Amino acid sequence: MSEEQNITLKEIIQVQGQSRKSVIPILQAIQEKYNYLPENLLKGVCEQTDITPDLIMGVASFYSQFRLQPAGEHIIKVCTGTACHVKGAELVYDAFGRALHLDPGKHTDKEGHYTLEKVNCLGCCTLAPVVQIDDVTYGHVGIEDTNTVIKSFENSHSSSANKLLPAHDATKTLQGEIRIGLGSCCVASGSEEVKNSVEVTVLENELDVNMKGVGCVGMCHQVPLLEIIPEGKEAVLYSKVQPADVKMIINRHFRPQGIWARLKSSVYNWVEDIQTDRSWEGVDQFELDVREKHVSSFLGRQVPIATEYRGAIDPLDIGEYKYRFGFKGIAKCLKEYTPEQVIEKVRESGLRGRGGAGFPTGIKWQTFRDQNSELKYIICNGDEGDPGAFMDRMLLESYPYRIIEGMTIAAYATGATKGYFYIRAEYPLAVKRIREALSIAKEQGYIGDNILNSGLSFDIEIFEGAGAFICGEETAMIASIEGNRGFPKLRPPYPVENGLWNNPTLVNNTETFAQIPFIARNGLDQYTNHGTSNSKGTKVFALAGKINRGGLIEVPMGITIREIIEDIGGGVPDGKKFKAVQIGGPSGGCVPEWLSNTPVDYQSLKEVGAMMGSGGLVVLDDTDCMVDIARYFLSFTQSESCGKCTFCRVGTKRMLDIMNGICSGKGKPKDLVELENLANWTKKGSLCGLGQTAPNPILSTLTYFRDEYEAHIHGKCPTGKCQDLIKYTIEDNCIGCTKCAQNCPVGAIPFAPYEIHVIDQEKCIQCDGCRQVCPEDAVLVK
């Protein structure tokens, strides 16, 4: 170890501690510094702490966040979540590989600038396909965009100037408020640049407005969003705003202050308009009136409870949260109810765990309350690992105080002594917001000692996950916080009896906590008004895939799948046919179009072979191959299995072998029998939820789309998605424009101007590039 390394390591250990439980934070700190985990440092950790070699290597090799080999300067992560998958993420990944000239089997370019990785889900599903370079996210990345993205990153990387706006001067008249969406989707679609542009305009025009970054509005299909609220006038929402549009939009609503500013503004803006060739007409195009039909149907069917006041509150502005009835729930509980009464209320509300299984929250709380122990923990499960789901991310980013309040109410009701946020490594913004929110809430006495002078003491800490889907399972999550590999434990004993460090531990989902303050504050009726007899209240879903208006939605339980897709989502785009919706991610199933009148509640979804899961809704159209979708989910769970139990570790692998055989045209009729058999045994023979539900996508597609499996066995992929079963050809309507030949990354199409082009099947890698660039739709997949 070099002297420099030694000093770094000492500092890290100083901050993170010397005990075994610090192993994950220590590894994260080392990787933050070196982009990977150098072996000599790991050995150093073992020498200087209680951490042993078996522990550190076991942990470092378990979590996908950790790299044991050196990586490039920057990491390109191609999201392969469900929504991205159905929009061709694999092809994008391959395209980046070609753009970086990676050698086969290598993931880092020769210069060591970039390392290419796949990432399970970045939670920006409406912008699929999504690519992240370091902390910059790019949405709608096509296979032809690889070089643009890399260039754009290199440019942004060299110049990053953040301007600071002066606070509102109380002596001046406030002209109004400008709200900018700063959820991850918005940021990925460029809202940071829009924000910069707003700041520049506001400064230049000496406007006196409130600038506010707001959390996710849920309308992720329209991002970036900009809302202008001139003082005393109606709000106007602008969608898909580009930085260049900002000046026009702002000038339309606010008069520059001061003569010089006004003069300067008119001249400069005029000049700039000519230079950039943009006219005022552009503005209307972006204006979104809330009363306009599609916006009102997107929002109209929704019932915001967990997402109350969305788009209106600055996630970190505690004053505003309080103004919007924040912390009224905990105050009311402390003042008016005994802990038993709070539990009673939660029980009567019918609230069930929003993490997927739907266990009644009140009963869980009661069992937890009944435990006699000096230490009792509450964990907020924010380890949203499902590909195609981003509810927790949005709630954590946008409503940190609401979740904190929910946890505090739980602490009061159950006698918990300490809380943890377990947040997924892939959600850096959520971690940042929660960290800040915790510190502000503590300052103001909403957590910590003697909360609101009630005598209640409850503090909350953040634990960052390290990239393991299995850690969403409560016993694995506890193992992870304890500093171990995320191996689930056999239940019973349940964590409420024996959990974190053998103390009673209540694990609830983020969304569950987000619903608590509403119930506590407004009483039961307002909550139980919504929902069905066995599923009360609302559920937040991430609506993505082949849908016109994807986004984050909160709907009353019992709404039908069709209502969600058609009314809220605006149906399937590009004139395609709605085929199925995948609900519940890798644990869920595919509900076919003809069952779309199924109401969304725990029971009904289970009956059709899906499950609520954490709330991913990925819409599939008639170009999606259901066998490929099933294989996609299985390959996800297979790679995320912790590897402990036989049925999950080997069973999912063998099912995947069979699926790979089917998708590559090597399937046999008896494979379907074996697949079903193995799926059923894997369900029965697995210890934790991951293995028990991993076969669901297979079983549900076998039930509803067996004909597609059979077609594959007969050597045909009906939708032309499975690479081994398809061929790209160019038809006679080719006009010889040579675009395909120019775009082919492997030279499989000889350059032949004004002639019909031909694809060399030997060379073709089926990257889909030619089909995408062909202006005549002459490239066919057969």
Partner 1 sequence: MIKIQIDGREREVAEGITILDALKNEGIEVPTMCFLENTEHFPTCMVCMVKDQKSNKFVPSCSTLVASGMDIISNDEEVVEARRTSLELLLSDHVGDCEAPCQTNCPAFMDIPLMNRLLAMGKFDEALRVVKKDIALPAVLGRICPAPCERACRRRNIDEPVSICTLKRYAADHDLNHQSSFLPEKEALNGKKIGIIGTGPAGLSAAYFLLQKGYQCTLYDKNPLAGGALRYAVPDDRLPKDVLDQEIALIEQLGAVFKMNQELPENALETLRKDFDGIIVATGEDNADFDGLKKKNRSFVTERNTHKTGIDGVLAIGSAIKPGRVAIRAVAHGKEAALAMDQYLSGAKIVGEVRMFNSRFGKMIQEEYQDFMMEADKGPRIETEGVKGFSLEEVKKEALRCMHCDCREMHNCKLRIYSDQYKANQKRFFPKERAPVRKIFKNKPVVYEPEKCIKCGICVKITTIHKEELGLTYIGKGFDVEVSVPFDSSRVNALEKTTILCAEKCPTGALALKEKD
Report the interface residues with partner 1, using CB under 8 A: 39, 42-43, 52-58, 61-62, 468, 485, 487, 490, 492, 638-647, 649-654, 657, 678, 681, 684-685, 687
Alpha-carbon distance of 489 to 157, in angstroms, equals: 44
Rank residues 215 and 472 by Cβ distance to partner 1 and give the closer one: 472
Tell which residue, 260, 486, 514, has the closest CA to residue 380: 514
Q: How far is the CB of 30 from partner 1 (least distance, A)?
A: 15
User: In the structure, how many helices (H) and strands (E) does the chain have?
Assistant: 34, 21
Helical H runs in 337-427? 339-349, 361-369, 391-398, 400-414
Are 380 and 403 within 8 A, CB to CB? yes
User: Which phi and psi (to 5°) does residue 373 adopt?
Assistant: -160, 145
Q: How far is the CB of 393 from partner 1 (least distance, A)?
A: 23
Tokens 């500092």 locate to 11
Tokens at 17, concatenated? 């501690």
Q: How far is the CB of 338 from partner 1 (least distance, A)?
A: 32
Q: How far is the CB of 24 from partner 1 (least distance, A)?
A: 15
Alpha-carbon distance of 584 to 379, in angstroms, equals: 22
Q: How far is the CB of 486 from partner 1 (least distance, A)?
A: 8
Rank residues 457 and 677 by Cβ distance to partner 1 and give the closer one: 677
Rank residues 86 and 694 by Cβ distance to partner 1 and give the closer one: 694
Rank residues 53 and 750 by Cβ distance to partner 1 and give the closer one: 53
Q: How far is the CB of 651 from partner 1 (least distance, A)?
A: 6
Tell which residue, 400, 376, 390, has the closest CA to residue 424: 390
Alpha-carbon distance of 290 to 264, in angstroms, equals: 33
Q: Hey, is 154 helix, strand or coil?
A: helix
Which residues is 589 bridged to in the sheet?
A: 583
Q: How far is the CB of 463 from partner 1 (least distance, A)?
A: 19
Rank residues 10 and 43 by Cβ distance to partner 1 and give the closer one: 43
HEC secondary structure over 170-224: CCCCCCEEEEEECCHHHHHCCHHHHHHHHHHHHHHCCCCEEEEEECCCCCHHHCC
Rank residues 667 and 720 by Cβ distance to partner 1 and give the closer one: 667
Rank residues 259 and 490 by Cβ distance to partner 1 and give the closer one: 490
Rank residues 545 and 691 by Cβ distance to partner 1 and give the closer one: 691
Burial of 216 (0-12, 13-18, 19+ CB in 10 A): buried
Alpha-carbon distance of 713 to 724, in angstroms, equals: 12
Tokens at 622, concatenated? 């008639």
Q: How far is the CB of 118 from partner 1 (least distance, A)?
A: 15
Q: How far is the CB of 470 from partner 1 (least distance, A)?
A: 8
Alpha-carbon distance of 600 to 612, in angstroms, equals: 8
Q: How far is the CB of 780 from partner 1 (least distance, A)?
A: 32
- Number of residues in the chain: 782
Q: Kindly state the DSSP code that residue 647 receives in the 8-state scheme.
A: I
Q: How far is the CB of 310 from partner 1 (least distance, A)?
A: 37
Q: Hey, is 614 helix, strand or coil?
A: coil
Alpha-carbon distance of 67 to 60, in angstroms, equals: 8
Q: How far is the CB of 456 from partner 1 (least distance, A)?
A: 35
Q: ω before 492 within 30° of 0 (cis)?
A: yes
Rank residues 26 and 447 by Cβ distance to partner 1 and give the closer one: 26
Q: How far is the CB of 58 from partner 1 (least distance, A)?
A: 4
Cβ-proximal residues to 214 (8 Å cutoff; 6+ apart), any chain:
179, 180, 181, 182, 227, 310, 311, 312, 313, 314, 315, 398
Are 537 and 515 within 8 A, CB to CB? yes
Rank residues 55 and 306 by Cβ distance to partner 1 and give the closer one: 55
Tell which residue, 215, 228, 226, has the closest CA to residue 307: 215
Q: Kindly state the DSSP code that residue 360 receives in the 8-state scheme.
A: B
Identify the sign of the CA torsion 380, 383, 388, 392: positive
Rank residues 130 and 648 by Cβ distance to partner 1 and give the closer one: 648
- For residue 432, give Cα distances in angstroms to 27, 215, 393, 674: 19, 13, 12, 47
Q: Strands across the sheet with 456-464, in order?
A: 448-451, 456-464, 418-423, 377-382, 505-509
- For residue 9, give Cα distances in angstroms to 6, 54, 233, 325, 767: 5, 19, 57, 45, 45
Q: How far is the CB of 639 from partner 1 (least distance, A)?
A: 6
Rank residues 242 and 660 by Cβ distance to partner 1 and give the closer one: 660
User: Which phi and psi (to 5°) does residue 748 adopt?
Assistant: -85, -10
Rank residues 245 and 474 by Cβ distance to partner 1 and give the closer one: 474
Tell which residue, 525, 545, 514, 302, has the closest CA to residue 421: 514
Rank residues 329 and 499 by Cβ distance to partner 1 and give the closer one: 499
Rank residues 208 and 640 by Cβ distance to partner 1 and give the closer one: 640
Rank residues 104 and 455 by Cβ distance to partner 1 and give the closer one: 104
Q: How far is the CB of 43 from partner 1 (least distance, A)?
A: 7
DSSP structure string for 90-117: HHHHHHHHHHTTPPTT--B-TTSSEEEE
Q: How far is the CB of 505 from partner 1 (least distance, A)?
A: 18
Q: How far is the CB of 658 from partner 1 (least distance, A)?
A: 9
